[in-house]
Chains A and B, each alone.
Chain A
C-alpha cells in the first residue's frame, strides 16, 4: 500500500483537527452535559434538542448557516474581523469551529448519560463529608463518569475524522489547511485515481473499526480504578 505525501498531509491534518476539536469539546461539552443531567428547568428540553440538532441536520445545512454566520456579513464574521483575526471560512480554525458544532452531541450525550447514571447519592455523600459542589464534581462525579469521558472522547474524535459535508461548505479544499482525509478521497475519486482512493479509504475503514471495537470491547470499570 502506498500513500502519497498529500495523502499523509491530509491524514495528519485530520488527526490535528479531530484532536483539537475533542479537546475543545471536553471543556465545552462537560458543563453542558452536567447541566442537562441535573437540571429540572423547563428549558432542559429545548437546550437538549438544540445540542442534538447536528445528529439529524444535513451537514450541508449546518455548514451553510455557519458559512453565513462566519462570513464577511455574518455576526461572527464582524466579530472576528473586528478582533483582527480575519474571516474564518476556508481556514483551519474555521473548520475547527464548525466541527465543534457538528460533533457537539457526540460529546454531550454520552457524558450526560454517564452523569445521570451516577445519580444523586454519591454527591449527597460527598456533601455530608464537607465537599463543596465543585469539589464533589471533580473528586466524585468525574472519576465515576470516567468511562463516559473516554467513550465520549473517542466518539467525538472519530466523528470529526469522518465529517465531509461541513468541511466542503466551510473549508473548501485547501491542501494542508482544510483538505482532510475524507475530502482527499473524494478528490482521488473525482480524478479517477481509484488506487489511491482505495488506500486512503482502507486506512479510514480500519481506523473506524478499531475505534468502535475499542468502545465495545474495552469497558473500564471505575470500581476497580482505571
Chain B
C-alpha cells in the first residue's frame, strides 16, 4: 500500500511539534485533536508552508523534504483547503478555479468540469466571492483545490468557520469526495462527528504529538484511548441498508453481526452506509427486555470494561457477532449486574446515526 511518511521535530517558543507518521496512501486520514494540539501546524509542515529544518516528508516514495532538501510549496503536487474561505477576492469563481489549473502541466485527470459537478457550483461561476454564502465559498475553495489534480489533498477544518446549517450543506459533498476521490486526504478536525462521517484512518494529536492512530473503526472501539471523547465516545459500523419499512418510516441496516432499525432517511436498499452508535445510547441487560420502547435489542458478549472520564462511569465493550459496540453505564451498574468479560448480555441500542 502506498504511503505518506511525515517526520517533523520543530520547536517554536511555547510549542513543539514532534511526530513520526506513516499514513495510508489512500482514503481520508483525520488529524484529530483539540485546538492547540498541533494538527494544523502538522498540516502546514506537510504543505511546506512552515519551513522546518529537520523534517522529512515523502509520498509514495517521492521525497518532498529531507535533510538538506526542501521543496517549496508551489512545487509540491498538493492542494490545500484552508479553514476560512480563502478565495481570491479580485477574481470571479471561474477565475479562482482556473488560477491553479492554469499553472499545472499535463493531463487533468480530475478535470475542472468534474470538480464543478462534484461540488455543485456550476451556477456560481460568474460571481465574485463576496456574492457567495460562506458554504458556497468553501465549496468553490474545495473545487479549486481539486482542479489542480493534486496527489495529496490537505483540508484544515474546512467546516469550522461555518454554522450548523452550512455544515449540513457541505457535508454531503465531502462524503461524495470520500467515495469518489482516489487520492489521499488529510483532514484536520476537532469534531468527532465529522471524523466519524468522513475518516478511514485517525491520528489523534495532543501537545504536538500523535498519541494514537489506526483505522477509524478499530480505533474508536478501543477502550484505552489516551484521549477523552466524553459524550462523543462511541463506535462507527460499516453497514448496508437492507430493508425499508414504509409504514413506520424506518430502515433496517445490516452490519457484520446484526442489524439495527433506524428512521428512514430515504437511502435506497443496498446502499453502503456508516452507522454511528454513541456509548451513551447503548445499555446492557441480563435478560431480554420485552416491554421497552427500545427497538434494537441484540445478543452480545462482554469483552472488556474500562474506566470512563468520570469516576462514577464505566465503558463496556461488547461484541455483537464480530462487531464491537461500546456501552456507557455507571460503575454501580457494573457492580450490581456483575458485568464481567465473557458474559452473555442483551445489548439495547436507543438510537443510531446513519451517515452516507
Which A residues fall within an 8 A CB radius of B? 121-122, 124-133, 135-136, 139-140, 143-144, 146, 222-225
**A125 with B90: CB separation less than 8 A:** no
Residues of B within 8 A of A130 (CB): 74-75, 100, 103-104, 148
Complex Cα distance, B90 from A143, in Å, reads: 7
B219 within 8 A of A: no
- Which residues in window 53-92 of B have CB below 8 A to A? 72-75, 78-80, 82, 86, 88-90
Identify B148's interface contact among A129, A136, A139, A144, CB under 8 A.
A129
Query: Number of contact residues on B: which range applies?
Result: 20 to 34
**B128 with A131: CB separation less than 8 A:** no
**A127 with B89: CB separation less than 8 A:** no
Question: What is the count of residue pairs linking A and B with beta-carbon distances less than 8 angstroms?
Answer: 70
Residues of B within 8 A of A140 (CB): 88
Q: A122-B86, A144-B90, A223-B89 are in contact. Are A128 and B47 (CB under 8 A)?
A: yes
**B129 with A131: CB separation less than 8 A:** no
Complex Cα distance, B96 from A139, in Å, reads: 11
Main secondary structure of the interface of A (DSSP, over half): helix
B173 within 8 A of A: no
Complex Cα distance, B48 from A135, in Å, reads: 18
Complex Cα distance, B202 from A34, in Å, reads: 41
Identify B73's interface contact among A122, A127, A222, A225, CB under 8 A.
A127
Q: A124-B49, A223-B129, A224-B128 are in contact. Are A129 and B90 (CB under 8 A)?
A: no
B130 within 8 A of A: yes
**B90 with A124: CB separation less than 8 A:** no
**A224 with B82: CB separation less than 8 A:** no
Q: Mark B124-136, 1 if CB is under 8 A from A, else 0.
A: 0000111000000
Residues of B within 8 A of A129 (CB): 74, 79, 99-100, 103, 144, 148
Residues of B within 8 A of A136 (CB): 74
**B89 with A144: CB separation less than 8 A:** yes
**B90 with A222: CB separation less than 8 A:** yes
B242 → chain A, closest Cβ, in Å?
43
**A131 with B103: CB separation less than 8 A:** yes
Name the residue on A nearest B47 (C-beta).
A128
**A127 with B72: CB separation less than 8 A:** yes
- Which residues in window 95-117 of B have CB below 8 A to A? 99-100, 103-104
B20 → chain A, closest Cβ, in Å?
24
